[in-house]
Chains A and B, each alone.
Chain A
Amino acid sequence: MAWQIVRRLLIFVGSVLVASLAVFWLLSGIGDPARVQLGTGATEEGVRQLREQMGLNRPFFTRYLEWLGGTLHGDFGSSYISHAAIGPQLADRLSVTLWLVLGAMVLSVVVALPLGMLAALWHRRWAGTLISGITQLGVAVPAFLVGILLIALFAVRLGWLPSGSYVVPAQDPGGFLEHMILPWLSLGLVQAAVLTRYVRTAVLDQMGQDYLRTARAKGLTPWQALLRHGLRNAAIPVLTVLGVQLVTILVGAVVVEQVFVIPGIGQWLVDSVGNQDLLTVQAIVITLVAIALAVSFVVDVLYTLVDPRLRHG
């Protein structure tokens, strides 16, 4: 099992390296930072000089290794547009986004676990069907639409909650919660719909297993049998989905931050794309990709730990 984990770790590190190379190639290989920086009035001579000055004429791999080296120390360079250091901002923005993502994640799990189990237990009743139908709809609705609907109802119509912007939790915890409720709901509810469906299926599968029938034969209620024996097994496919969801929410946050004007990494990414700020986009994209890969690495490891078949495989 230790070997399994080491192997996964190696794969993870390798993947991040290859991904960083791909990102660097796209944004610093194909894109031309010197031209972008000069913008108007860029003469060929000027571009050439600046390329020289910025060290863009050096071999691709030299530049890549230099960037990679800096990145590993948290030094992502300075934006070509604002000349501000990217690293510190990345940390700030990411912390905002992580609040958003984690809150949404927790919300979706809290909603989906009981709902999915209920849907499974009641799968022959109308309530179960109703839950399935609602989740089917929920899956189709984009998170940003949920956001718009929530703003329309709770901010515009009822005036209960603010329509957007962000409050730093350390400064004003109450205000922070007030501002985050709607964004969390928009991201979390959609993911809850997806998750509910997986939980339902996983639980249904377990309910058909012999050991649960045995447990019930011993006099346990379906709930007891499920909670005592079935959850661990049902957790395996659900765990997988949770990892995927975390990444989905992270990307979904890009749009939801726009709806609620939250100064997270997604809004920064969209701004930087608009400014053709190659280096900043590069830093943000590799960060998000690295997070995605890390999540899938962690899920894989947990998978190995949880699944008895793999433990001895």
Chain B
Amino acid sequence: MAEPVSTATGPAVSPEPAQAAVAPLPAAERRRPGALLVTGGTIVALVVVVAVVSFFWTPWSTIYTDVLHWHAGPGTAGHLLGTDIRGRDVASLLMAGAQTTLYVGLLAVGIAAVVGTPLGILAGMTSRRWTEVILRITDLWLAFPALLLALTFATIWKSSLTSAMIAIGVATIPSFIRVVRSGTVVVMSSDYVQAARVAGRRGPAIAVRHVLPNVMGLVIVQVSVAYAIAILAEAALSYLGLGAGPTTPSWGRMLFENSSLLQAGYPVVLLWPGLAVALAVLGFNLLGDGLRDRLDPRLVGR
């Protein structure tokens, strides 16, 4: 039982997919789920707090360019972490970048959860034939990773944060379908659903009354995991110059705009946004793992 979710869908379908660089992690840390939850929760909370604070205050304006200090080192002229290639304050950009990160994740994961959850429940409740069809489609869908789909969308429409978010969201839908379906199957075989059926409750009523509340935990776990994927995908896209626009503070965009400094011998400007991305991804990953460990025994073991 390396991966509870995939085994629940049965070995007949292809393996649980992973996208971008984060595969769903094996739930190997059961001994101390609290530690994961606390660490992950703290990091995520930190990102949220920074994002909120940056709404009202950043040390410098994020568009101000200090024409006397191009890519200056940390501590120069009141710039805590220095300035970037165009003289903007790195610390301020990092703070405001947290907003973009959260915003992108929210929209992308929102799309995926809102579309994927009902489809997953449907797949778990319908006849075998339909289940098979839905699972085949999700299999196929999974062959379009978020980044690839986002690049495709950027070709057809103007590349923008919005098209990127939609693409990432659409690409993440199947992972929700699978997770929710496997949870639904478990719930559907439970005594109380059987009882409700005998009592003449119809499908939609069962879905809303019994299935949805019970798979909600799984959805939340998946939201956390998908959030990490979305953050990575946004960073990658913006780094390629196909995500956040020129005046949108974004960690990926910072990497893009400052990339020539690597050859020029000032790599430090690139480290900050890189570390920010890694930290946020780590936070959501840990949070997801921690939550899953909390939920799994009850749901899967039922």
Direct A–B contact present (CB less than 8 angstroms): yes
Whole-angstrom CA separation of A299 from B277 in the bound complex: 32
The reply to whether B152 and A26 form a contact with Cβ atoms under 8 Å apart is: yes
The reply to whether B156 and A132 form a contact with Cβ atoms under 8 Å apart is: no
Kindly provide the distance from the CB of A165 to the nearest chain B CB, expressed in whole angstroms: 11
- Of B17, B148, B155, B285, which is within 8 A of A31 by CB? B155
How many A residues touch the partner, as a band? 35 or more
Is the CB of A100 closer than 8 A to any CB of chain B?
no
Q: List the 5 closest pairs (A to B, CB-CB), nearest first.
A: A140-B282, A152-B267, A240-B15, A201-B26, A145-B274
- Of A19, A27, A148, A292, which is within 8 A of B271 by CB? A148
- Of A15, A148, A152, A163, which is within 8 A of B143 by CB? A15
| B16, B148, B255 pick with most chain A CB within 10 angstroms | B148
Q: Say whether, besides A197-B26, A204-B28, A281 and B267 are in contact (CB < 8 Å).
A: no
Question: Which residues of B have CB within 8 Å of A251?
Answer: 19-20, 145, 147-148
Type the 1/0 row for A25-61, where 1 means its CB is closer than 8 Å to any CB of B.
0110011000000000000000000000000000000
Kindly provide the distance from the CB of B189 to the nearest chain A CB, expressed in whole angstroms: 21
Kindly provide the distance from the CB of B132 to the nearest chain A CB, expressed in whole angstroms: 11
Question: Which residues of B have CB within 8 Å of A285?
Answer: 148, 151-152
Q: Chain A contact residues: over half helix, strand or loop, or mixed? A: helix
Whole-angstrom CA separation of A269 from B151 in the bound complex: 8
Question: Which residues of A have CB within 8 Å of B156?
Answer: 26-27, 30-31, 278
Identify the A interface with B (CB < 8 A): 11, 15, 18-19, 23, 26-27, 30-31, 132, 136-137, 139-145, 148-149, 151-152, 156, 163, 190-191, 194, 197-198, 200-202, 204-205, 237, 240-241, 243-245, 247-248, 251-252, 254-255, 258-259, 269-270, 272-274, 276-278, 281, 285, 288-289, 292-293, 296, 299-300, 303, 307, 309-310
Q: Say whether, besides A145-B274, A148-B271, A281-B151, A19 and B140 are in contact (CB < 8 Å).
A: yes
Question: Which residues of B have CB within 8 Å of A132?
Answer: 28-29
Question: Which residues of A have CB within 8 Å of B275?
Answer: 145
- Of B143, B265, B281, which is within 8 A of A142 by CB? B281
- Of B22, B27, B235, B259, which is within 8 A of A139 by CB? B22
Kindly provide the distance from the CB of B130 to the nearest chain A CB, expressed in whole angstroms: 17
- Of B27, B145, B278, which is within 8 A of A145 by CB? B278
The reply to whether B242 and A258 form a contact with Cβ atoms under 8 Å apart is: no
- Of A15, A145, A289, which is within 8 A of B148 by CB? A289
The reply to whether B23 and A245 form a contact with Cβ atoms under 8 Å apart is: yes
Q: Say whether, besides A142-B236, A152-B271, A255-B236, A237 and B3 are in contact (CB < 8 Å).
A: yes
